[in-house]
Chain A
Amino acid sequence: MVDTDTIEVTVSTPEQVGVTAAKLGIPIFESRLETSSLEDVFFRLTSHPAEEGRTP
Protein backbone atom coordinates (compact mmCIF):
# COMPACT_ATOMS: atom_id res chain seq x y z
CA MET A 1 0.00 0.00 0.00
CA VAL A 2 1.34 3.41 -0.95
CA ASP A 3 0.80 6.53 1.11
CA THR A 4 -1.11 9.09 -0.90
CA ASP A 5 -2.22 12.66 -0.42
CA THR A 6 -5.37 14.14 -1.78
CA ILE A 7 -4.98 17.62 -3.15
CA GLU A 8 -7.65 19.93 -4.45
CA VAL A 9 -6.72 22.12 -7.39
CA THR A 10 -9.00 24.95 -8.37
CA VAL A 11 -8.98 27.18 -11.44
CA SER A 12 -7.82 24.24 -13.54
CA THR A 13 -9.16 21.21 -15.36
CA PRO A 14 -8.42 17.50 -14.98
CA GLU A 15 -6.73 17.67 -18.39
CA GLN A 16 -4.38 20.49 -17.34
CA VAL A 17 -3.54 18.77 -14.08
CA GLY A 18 -2.96 15.43 -15.86
CA VAL A 19 -0.69 16.93 -18.52
CA THR A 20 1.38 18.75 -15.93
CA ALA A 21 1.70 15.63 -13.81
CA ALA A 22 2.71 13.55 -16.86
CA LYS A 23 5.40 16.04 -17.87
CA LEU A 24 6.87 15.85 -14.38
CA GLY A 25 6.50 12.08 -14.08
CA ILE A 26 4.15 12.42 -11.12
CA PRO A 27 1.93 9.36 -10.68
CA ILE A 28 -1.77 10.06 -10.22
CA PHE A 29 -3.93 7.33 -8.76
CA GLU A 30 -7.21 9.18 -9.03
CA SER A 31 -8.42 12.46 -10.50
CA ARG A 32 -11.94 13.74 -10.63
CA LEU A 33 -13.73 16.99 -11.28
CA GLU A 34 -16.15 18.04 -8.57
CA THR A 35 -18.66 20.82 -8.93
CA SER A 36 -20.41 22.58 -6.10
CA SER A 37 -23.64 20.97 -5.01
CA LEU A 38 -26.85 22.95 -4.85
CA GLU A 39 -26.55 22.69 -1.07
CA ASP A 40 -23.08 24.30 -1.17
CA VAL A 41 -24.40 27.12 -3.33
CA PHE A 42 -27.49 27.59 -1.20
CA PHE A 43 -25.58 27.94 2.05
CA ARG A 44 -22.98 30.18 0.47
CA LEU A 45 -25.71 32.52 -0.76
CA THR A 46 -27.87 32.52 2.33
CA SER A 47 -25.42 32.33 5.24
CA HIS A 48 -25.03 35.39 7.40
CA PRO A 49 -21.60 35.45 9.07
CA ALA A 50 -22.75 37.84 11.79
CA GLU A 51 -25.38 35.30 12.87
CA GLU A 52 -23.19 32.20 12.84
CA GLY A 53 -21.57 32.89 16.18
CA ARG A 54 -24.85 33.69 17.82
CA THR A 55 -25.84 31.40 20.67
CA PRO A 56 -29.43 30.16 20.85
Chain B
Amino acid sequence: MAAIEVSRLTKRFGSLSAVTDLSFSVAPGGVTGFLGPNGAGKTTTLRLLLGLMAPTDGTATISGRSYAELTDPLREVGAVLESASFHPGRTARAHLRLQALAADVGRERVDAVLDLVGLADSGERRVGGFSLGMRQRLGLATALIGDPSILILDEPANGLDPEGVRWLRDLLRNIAAQGRTVFVSSHLLAEVAHSVDHVVIIDQGHLVADAPIDKLTAERGEIVRVRTPHPTNCGTPWWAKEPTPAWSTPTRSR
Protein backbone atom coordinates (compact mmCIF):
# COMPACT_ATOMS: atom_id res chain seq x y z
CA MET B 1 0.00 0.00 0.00
CA ALA B 2 1.23 3.47 -0.83
CA ALA B 3 1.96 5.64 2.20
CA ILE B 4 0.25 8.58 0.53
CA GLU B 5 -2.38 8.24 -2.17
CA VAL B 6 -3.97 11.15 -3.98
CA SER B 7 -6.74 10.11 -6.34
CA ARG B 8 -8.61 12.37 -8.74
CA LEU B 9 -8.28 15.17 -6.22
CA THR B 10 -9.97 18.44 -7.11
CA LYS B 11 -10.30 21.63 -5.09
CA ARG B 12 -12.19 24.63 -6.39
CA PHE B 13 -12.53 28.04 -4.77
CA GLY B 14 -15.53 29.53 -6.51
CA SER B 15 -14.72 29.54 -10.21
CA LEU B 16 -10.99 29.00 -9.56
CA SER B 17 -9.73 25.44 -9.65
CA ALA B 18 -6.62 25.20 -7.46
CA VAL B 19 -6.20 21.45 -7.93
CA THR B 20 -7.73 19.52 -10.80
CA ASP B 21 -8.14 15.75 -11.07
CA LEU B 22 -4.77 15.20 -9.43
CA SER B 23 -3.56 11.62 -8.89
CA PHE B 24 -0.24 10.31 -7.61
CA SER B 25 1.10 8.08 -4.87
CA VAL B 26 4.11 8.20 -2.58
CA ALA B 27 5.93 5.01 -1.64
CA PRO B 28 7.60 4.42 1.73
CA GLY B 29 11.36 4.13 2.09
CA GLY B 30 12.28 7.13 -0.02
CA VAL B 31 12.26 10.90 -0.24
CA THR B 32 9.73 12.25 -2.73
CA GLY B 33 9.91 15.86 -3.85
CA PHE B 34 6.74 17.80 -4.54
CA LEU B 35 7.48 20.58 -6.99
CA GLY B 36 5.64 23.27 -8.85
CA PRO B 37 5.71 27.01 -9.51
CA ASN B 38 4.07 29.41 -7.06
CA GLY B 39 0.32 28.95 -7.21
CA ALA B 40 0.60 25.47 -8.74
CA GLY B 41 -1.51 23.98 -5.96
CA LYS B 42 1.19 22.38 -3.81
CA THR B 43 0.16 23.87 -0.49
CA THR B 44 -3.52 23.29 -1.27
CA THR B 45 -2.73 19.62 -1.95
CA LEU B 46 -0.80 19.33 1.32
CA ARG B 47 -3.62 20.99 3.24
CA LEU B 48 -6.12 18.59 1.66
CA LEU B 49 -3.89 15.68 2.58
CA LEU B 50 -3.70 16.86 6.19
CA GLY B 51 -7.44 17.37 6.48
CA LEU B 52 -7.11 21.14 6.83
CA MET B 53 -9.63 21.67 4.06
CA ALA B 54 -12.17 19.46 2.32
CA PRO B 55 -11.76 18.43 -1.32
CA THR B 56 -14.36 19.38 -3.90
CA ASP B 57 -13.88 15.92 -5.37
CA GLY B 58 -11.53 12.96 -5.11
CA THR B 59 -9.57 11.63 -2.17
CA ALA B 60 -6.25 12.16 -0.40
CA THR B 61 -5.30 9.36 1.97
CA ILE B 62 -2.50 8.45 4.33
CA SER B 63 -1.94 4.74 4.83
CA GLY B 64 -5.28 4.16 3.13
CA ARG B 65 -7.32 6.53 5.31
CA SER B 66 -8.16 10.18 5.30
CA TYR B 67 -6.33 12.23 7.93
CA ALA B 68 -9.56 12.55 9.95
CA GLU B 69 -9.83 8.76 10.09
CA LEU B 70 -6.34 8.21 11.52
CA THR B 71 -6.59 6.84 15.03
CA ASP B 72 -3.29 8.30 16.23
CA PRO B 73 -2.44 11.02 13.70
CA LEU B 74 0.53 12.62 15.48
CA ARG B 75 2.24 9.24 15.68
CA GLU B 76 1.40 8.34 12.11
CA VAL B 77 2.13 11.62 10.31
CA GLY B 78 4.46 14.47 11.13
CA ALA B 79 3.87 17.64 9.15
CA VAL B 80 5.34 21.10 8.84
CA LEU B 81 3.53 23.59 6.67
CA GLU B 82 5.25 26.74 5.47
CA SER B 83 3.14 28.84 7.77
CA ALA B 84 4.19 26.98 10.93
CA SER B 85 4.02 29.40 13.85
CA PHE B 86 5.00 29.16 17.48
CA HIS B 87 4.17 31.11 20.63
CA PRO B 88 7.05 33.60 20.78
CA GLY B 89 7.17 33.67 24.57
CA ARG B 90 7.41 29.91 24.96
CA THR B 91 10.73 28.09 25.07
CA ALA B 92 11.48 25.43 22.50
CA ARG B 93 11.38 22.75 25.17
CA ALA B 94 8.04 24.00 26.55
CA HIS B 95 6.59 24.01 23.04
CA LEU B 96 7.73 20.45 22.43
CA ARG B 97 6.46 19.28 25.83
CA LEU B 98 2.98 20.43 24.83
CA GLN B 99 3.33 18.60 21.54
CA ALA B 100 4.53 15.49 23.39
CA LEU B 101 1.42 15.64 25.57
CA ALA B 102 -0.80 15.92 22.51
CA ALA B 103 0.98 13.00 20.86
CA ASP B 104 0.90 11.02 24.11
CA VAL B 105 4.63 10.33 24.06
CA GLY B 106 7.09 10.46 26.96
CA ARG B 107 8.94 13.67 27.87
CA GLU B 108 12.23 12.00 27.02
CA ARG B 109 11.17 12.31 23.41
CA VAL B 110 11.46 16.09 23.74
CA ASP B 111 15.18 15.93 24.42
CA ALA B 112 15.60 13.31 21.72
CA VAL B 113 14.08 15.49 19.01
CA LEU B 114 15.84 18.64 20.23
CA ASP B 115 19.09 16.76 19.84
CA LEU B 116 18.04 15.32 16.48
CA VAL B 117 17.41 18.76 14.97
CA GLY B 118 20.48 20.39 16.48
CA LEU B 119 18.67 22.51 19.07
CA ALA B 120 19.86 20.67 22.18
CA ASP B 121 21.60 23.81 23.44
CA SER B 122 18.65 26.09 22.66
CA GLY B 123 15.84 24.25 24.45
CA GLU B 124 15.48 26.90 27.13
CA ARG B 125 15.52 29.84 24.71
CA ARG B 126 12.28 31.59 23.83
CA VAL B 127 11.12 30.89 20.31
CA GLY B 128 10.56 34.61 19.69
CA GLY B 129 14.33 35.05 19.53
CA PHE B 130 14.87 32.21 17.08
CA SER B 131 16.20 32.78 13.57
CA LEU B 132 14.18 31.49 10.61
CA GLY B 133 16.53 28.53 10.36
CA MET B 134 16.05 27.67 14.04
CA ARG B 135 12.28 27.91 13.59
CA GLN B 136 12.54 25.48 10.70
CA ARG B 137 14.46 23.09 12.91
CA LEU B 138 11.88 23.47 15.67
CA GLY B 139 9.11 22.81 13.15
CA LEU B 140 10.86 19.64 12.15
CA ALA B 141 11.26 18.64 15.80
CA THR B 142 7.51 19.18 16.23
CA ALA B 143 6.79 16.94 13.26
CA LEU B 144 9.11 14.26 14.63
CA ILE B 145 7.83 14.29 18.21
CA GLY B 146 5.43 11.39 17.65
CA ASP B 147 8.12 9.36 15.85
CA PRO B 148 5.84 9.12 12.80
CA SER B 149 6.31 6.81 9.84
CA ILE B 150 5.30 9.56 7.39
CA LEU B 151 6.73 13.08 7.18
CA ILE B 152 5.08 15.82 5.12
CA LEU B 153 7.17 18.98 4.89
CA ASP B 154 6.42 22.22 3.08
CA GLU B 155 9.59 24.11 2.14
CA PRO B 156 11.67 22.80 5.08
CA ALA B 157 14.95 24.22 3.74
CA ASN B 158 13.73 27.83 3.75
CA GLY B 159 15.92 29.92 6.01
CA LEU B 160 18.59 27.27 6.49
CA ASP B 161 22.21 28.14 5.81
CA PRO B 162 24.28 25.85 3.56
CA GLU B 163 25.36 23.73 6.52
CA GLY B 164 21.73 23.49 7.59
CA VAL B 165 20.63 22.47 4.10
CA ARG B 166 23.19 19.68 4.06
CA TRP B 167 22.16 18.63 7.55
CA LEU B 168 18.50 18.51 6.48
CA ARG B 169 19.38 16.45 3.42
CA ASP B 170 21.21 13.87 5.54
CA LEU B 171 18.42 13.80 8.12
CA LEU B 172 15.69 13.20 5.55
CA ARG B 173 17.75 10.53 3.83
CA ASN B 174 18.35 8.77 7.16
CA ILE B 175 14.65 8.89 7.96
CA ALA B 176 13.79 7.40 4.56
CA ALA B 177 16.47 4.74 5.00
CA GLN B 178 14.54 3.55 8.07
CA GLY B 179 11.68 2.66 5.73
CA ARG B 180 9.69 5.81 6.49
CA THR B 181 8.06 8.10 3.98
CA VAL B 182 9.28 11.64 3.36
CA PHE B 183 7.18 13.90 1.13
CA VAL B 184 8.71 17.33 0.79
CA SER B 185 7.81 20.40 -1.23
CA SER B 186 10.58 22.78 -2.23
CA HIS B 187 11.55 25.56 -4.59
CA LEU B 188 15.25 24.77 -4.26
CA LEU B 189 15.60 22.63 -7.36
CA ALA B 190 19.35 22.07 -7.12
CA GLU B 191 18.92 20.89 -3.54
CA VAL B 192 15.96 18.71 -4.46
CA ALA B 193 18.08 17.09 -7.17
CA HIS B 194 20.52 16.01 -4.44
CA SER B 195 17.96 15.06 -1.84
CA VAL B 196 15.12 13.13 -3.40
CA ASP B 197 14.61 9.81 -5.16
CA HIS B 198 11.35 10.60 -6.88
CA VAL B 199 9.55 13.78 -7.93
CA VAL B 200 5.95 14.76 -8.37
CA ILE B 201 5.60 18.00 -10.36
CA ILE B 202 2.35 19.89 -10.68
CA ASP B 203 1.50 22.99 -12.64
CA GLN B 204 -1.70 25.00 -12.52
CA GLY B 205 -3.26 22.29 -10.39
CA HIS B 206 -2.47 19.48 -12.83
CA LEU B 207 0.06 16.67 -12.61
CA VAL B 208 2.85 17.12 -15.16
CA ALA B 209 5.41 14.54 -13.92
CA ASP B 210 5.55 11.64 -11.49
CA ALA B 211 8.79 9.70 -11.87
CA PRO B 212 12.11 8.72 -10.33
CA ILE B 213 14.41 11.70 -10.67
CA ASP B 214 17.06 9.75 -12.62
CA LYS B 215 14.53 8.56 -15.15
CA LEU B 216 12.98 11.99 -15.51
CA THR B 217 16.26 13.76 -16.22
CA ALA B 218 17.51 10.97 -18.52
CA GLU B 219 14.44 10.62 -20.68
CA ARG B 220 14.22 14.35 -21.20
CA GLY B 221 17.35 14.23 -23.27
CA GLU B 222 21.05 13.53 -23.18
CA ILE B 223 23.70 15.22 -25.24
CA VAL B 224 27.26 14.30 -26.00
CA ARG B 225 29.37 17.44 -25.83
CA VAL B 226 32.48 17.08 -27.96
CA ARG B 227 35.42 19.44 -28.24
CA THR B 228 37.33 19.00 -31.45
CA PRO B 229 39.40 21.07 -33.90
CA HIS B 230 37.48 19.45 -36.77
CA PRO B 231 33.76 19.95 -36.40
CA THR B 232 33.38 19.06 -40.05
CA ASN B 233 35.07 16.59 -42.38
CA CYS B 234 35.41 17.97 -45.90
CA GLY B 235 32.60 20.39 -45.16
CA THR B 236 30.23 17.73 -43.85
CA PRO B 237 29.48 17.31 -40.16
CA TRP B 238 31.21 13.98 -39.49
CA TRP B 239 28.94 13.18 -36.55
CA ALA B 240 26.04 13.27 -39.03
CA LYS B 241 27.07 9.69 -39.81
CA GLU B 242 25.52 8.76 -36.48
CA PRO B 243 22.03 7.25 -36.65
CA THR B 244 19.39 9.97 -36.55
CA PRO B 245 21.70 12.57 -35.05
CA ALA B 246 20.97 16.14 -34.17
CA TRP B 247 23.51 18.77 -33.29
CA SER B 248 24.08 22.32 -32.34
CA THR B 249 25.89 25.01 -34.22
CA PRO B 250 29.55 24.66 -33.26
CA THR B 251 30.82 27.25 -30.83
CA ARG B 252 34.42 28.36 -31.16
CA SER B 253 36.79 28.29 -28.20
CA ARG B 254 40.50 28.84 -28.02
Chain A contact residues, CB within 8 Å of chain B: 1-14, 16-17, 20-21, 24, 26-42, 44-46
- Name the one of A1, A21, A34, A41 contacting B222, with C-beta atoms under 8 angstroms: A34
Contact present for B225 and A34 (CB under 8 Å): yes
Q: Secondary structure of the A side of the interface?
A: mixed
19 sampled A-B residue pairs with Cβ under 8 A: A2-B229, A5-B250, A6-B250, A7-B225, A7-B226, A9-B223, A10-B246, A12-B245, A21-B239, A26-B230, A27-B230, A29-B229, A31-B225, A32-B224, A33-B222, A37-B193, A37-B217, A38-B193, A38-B216
Contact present for B227 and A6 (CB under 8 Å): yes
Is B243 an interface residue when CB atoms closer than 8 A count as contact?
yes
- Name the one of A29, A31, A46 contacting B224, with C-beta atoms under 8 angstroms: A31
With contact pairs A31-B224, A36-B217, A45-B203 given, residues A11 and B242 touching in the complex (Cβ less than 8 Å) = yes
Binary interface encoding of chain B residues 215-252 relative to chain A, with 1 for a CB under 8 A from any of its CBs, else 0:
01110111111111111010001110111111110111
Contact present for B244 and A11 (CB under 8 Å): yes
For chain B, give the interface size range: 35 or more
Contact present for B239 and A4 (CB under 8 Å): no
Give Cα A2–Cα B192 distance, bound, in whole angstroms: 40
Total of A-B residue pairs, C-beta within 8 Å: 159
In the complex, what's the smallest C-beta–C-beta distance from A40 to chain B, in angstroms? 7
Give Cα A20–Cα B228 distance, bound, in whole angstroms: 13
Which residues of the partner chain A approach B241 to less than 8 Å between Cβ atoms? 20, 24
Contact present for A45 and B209 (CB under 8 Å): yes
Interface of chain B residues 54 through 95 with chain A (CB within 8 A): none
Which residues of the partner chain A approach B226 to less than 8 Å between Cβ atoms? 6-9, 17, 21, 28, 30-31
Give Cα A13–Cα B218 distance, bound, in whole angstroms: 13
Give Cα A38–Cα B233 distance, bound, in whole angstroms: 35
Is B253 an interface residue when CB atoms closer than 8 A count as contact?
yes
In the complex, what's the smallest C-beta–C-beta distance from A49 to chain B, in angstroms? 13
